[in-house]
Structure 1
Amino acid sequence: MNKPRRISDKVFAFLLVVPGLALLAAVVVYPLITSLVTAFFEQSLLYPGREFVGLQNIIDVLQGEFMTLFGQTMVFTIGTTVLPFIIGFGLALALNTRIAGSKVMRGLMLIPWLVPGVVVSFLWMWIFNANYGVMNALLQGIGLIDEPQAWLAQPGTAMLAVIVAKTWQSFPWMMVMLLAGLQTVPRELHEAAEIDGAGTIRRFFSITVPQMQGIIGLVLLLEFIWNFQHFDIIYVLTGGGPAGSTQTFATAVYETAFHSFDLGHAGALGLLWLLLLMILVVVYVRFSEKGEKK
């Protein structure tokens, strides 16, 4: 009898990877390449066929709304990265002191992060509602405003409201990551510095922050990249309005493709957006490699 042929480890590993690669190609790679190629054509969802126009779509986008979208995207991204970082770091420092009930508090504070983005959006839509919102009732109760405000309907406050909603969802993840980093800082360093007369603030900037440079950098970079491409909370809360004041690259690509039916300009905007994201990813990879070499 012939012995059954044995599969080598390399072939077996390849067979295990093939289904995942096929799914990735079908769901991510093919749609991505197709949408990027569309940037060089004049194509509409309303009419069949398309016409090659070269770089014209990209030129139109650059000469049109690109800088406005870039500025608003950066405002949203920086705001929703810095605010949850400050809140998360503060809470991480508090929980790291082993205060009573810290484990229960840690679990409760994870709830905003576990709630789906659409649910978060509707929750904050109710809070910011001009007629029966909790925010207006609270601010009127303490005398900060005289009459109800339409927070999501005014260009001056809509972006701030969206940033607050996204911050509420994001800070628990940052808190958990930073708390894990704090627990790796040797307590002996703090004890030695305290003996030498260093106060809490000095120990924070001289010991805690230097020891956590790696985790702080990775958390900020990851959150920045995710927020740079965030869509759901912005779109559900404001739809990019009022008057386009909360429009970002993510919402603009969707609006251009499925409301204006202009796939060419949507593809061009998506291509420029992807190039900016690639710069951020390169920075993240370089930072990660630098951390591994230490």
Structure 2
Amino acid sequence: MAITTDPPPTRTAVDPPVRATDQSRSAGARDRTFGFMLAAPALALFLVVAVYPLAAGVATSFYDQSLIRPDRRFVGLGNYAAVWPDFVDRLGTTLVFSGLATVFPMLVGLALAVLLNARLRGRGLLRGALMLPWLLPGVVVSFLWAWIFNDSYGVINHLLSVAGLPEADFLGRPATAMATVVIAKTWNSFPWVMVVALAALQSLPREQLEAAALDGATRAQRFRHVSLPHLAGPLALVAMLEFIYNFGSFDMIFVMTGGGPGDSTMTLAVSLYRYAFTEFSLGRAAAMGVLWLVALSAVCAGYFLLDKKLESR
């Protein structure tokens, strides 16, 4: 009698269970890929518009290159040595202009903000009117104030002649040229300082002012001990941003004085323009631009440190 035995049962292959961590990793990888695809166009535009010109400018600063010659010659740090004395002088002028063109708009904007924060009839219309200087382009403002201070047909000299006073060449004298540019820049910049200060004043709790008034504090004391500390943070950031903008300002000085008379208003921006488009020396202009970038980076570092310090309070 034959004995038959059944074959042993075969086991079917079973896929290992998918872990939740593997699923989360694959989802995270897909999200990163999708995010990179979204950022790729902006990144490519940034590389083309910002990084490539910066790298090309740094490379050009090591060459004797001109707009009127097709060839160029490697000179190493020769361009930096040639422009260094001018850079030191122009840096001082730029710091003077940036400081004055920051302080005066801050003072005017703060004073007008305090005035407009009071209960005045028609203050809404006045707020809108005071915003007009900020809406005008810098070139338009420059031509406007150059006409006002013109020595032949300017409004200021006309008023001086009517009053029987001697006329003056405001834009043609080193002692007054910087002052005229600062006045024009103040008129153009005070509105945004005014807006920030006014917004900060209106966010100040009225209870604090009322409590100080009940304690016998005068209006000046309330402003000094209650309102001004509330304004310190926003105004500090506005002042630093305004200083950075003025540090790179070009249009107003170039249109009104061209850096003159002499070199009394010659800032780094105007000096770089002269190297490139008057002397046609691209190498020296690039070297001046690199030094200017280093100085501006130091100013921006101060802004970030101030911002971080104010946020930690």
- TM-score tier by shorter-chain length is over 0.9
Residue identity in the other structure for 1:247: M
Question: Paired residue for 2:154, among 133, 154, 174?
Answer: 133
Mapped to 1, the partners of 2:200 and 2:56 lie a distance apart of 41
Encode CA deviations 1:38-90: one digit per residue, 9 max, x unaligned.
Answer: 2222111111222222222212222x222221111111111110011000000
Report the Cα offset of residue 94 of structure 1: 0.6
SS at match of 1:65: helix
Match of 1:89 in 2: 110
Match of 1:261 in 2: 280
Encode CA deviations 1:128-175: one digit per residue, 9 max, x unaligned.
Answer: 1111111112233445x32x2221122221111111111110000111
Question: Paired residue for 1:45, among 67, 73, 85?
Answer: 67
Match of 1:76 in 2: 97
Residues 1:174 and 2:193 are matched in the alignment: yes
Match of 2:216 in 1: 197
Mapped to 2, the partners of 1:291 and 1:150 lie a distance apart of 44
Match of 1:150 in 2: 169
SS at match of 2:64: strand
Residues 1:23 and 2:64 are matched in the alignment: no
Report the Cα offset of residue 227 of structure 1: 0.2
Match of 1:186 in 2: 205
Encode CA deviations 1:101-122: one digit per residue, 9 max, x unaligned.
Answer: 1111111111111101111111
Mapped to 1, the partners of 2:37 and 2:129 lie a distance apart of 43
Mapped to 2, the partners of 1:50 and 1:126 lie a distance apart of 42
Match of 1:250 in 2: 269
Question: Paired residue for 2:57, among 9, 16, 35?
Answer: 35
Residue identity in the other structure for 1:106: R
- List runs of 5+ in structure 2 lacking aligned partners: 1-26
State which structure, 1 or 2, has the greater radius of gyration over its C-alpha atoms: 2
Mapped to 2, the partners of 1:167 and 1:22 lie a distance apart of 38
Mapped to 2, the partners of 1:18 and 1:142 lie a distance apart of 65
Specify whether residues 77 and 23 from structure 1 end up closer, same or farther in structure 2 by C-alpha distance, changes over 3 A only: same
Residue identity in the other structure for 1:19: P
Mapped to 1, the partners of 2:49 and 2:125 lie a distance apart of 40
Residues 1:237 and 2:260 are matched in the alignment: no
- State the percentage of identical aligned residues: 48
Pick which of 220-229 and 51-60 moved more.
51-60
Mapped to 1, the partners of 2:161 and 2:90 lie a distance apart of 34
Pick which of 223-232 and 184-193 moved more.
184-193
Encode CA deviations 1:221-279: one digit per residue, 9 max, x unaligned.
Answer: 00000000000111111111111211100111111011101111111111111111111
SS at match of 1:42: strand
Mapped to 2, the partners of 1:138 and 1:19 lie a distance apart of 57
- List runs of 5+ in structure 1 lacking aligned partners: 1-5
In the superposition, the TM-score normalised over structure 1's length comes to 0.92
Mapped to 2, the partners of 1:38 and 1:202 lie a distance apart of 57
Report the Cα offset of residue 8 of structure 1: 4.0
Pick which of 70-79 and 45-54 moved more.
45-54
Q: CA RMSD in A?
A: 1.7
Pick which of 6-15 and 201-210 moved more.
6-15
Residues 1:67 and 2:69 are matched in the alignment: no
Mapped to 1, the partners of 2:160 and 2:54 lie a distance apart of 46
Match of 1:58 in 2: 80
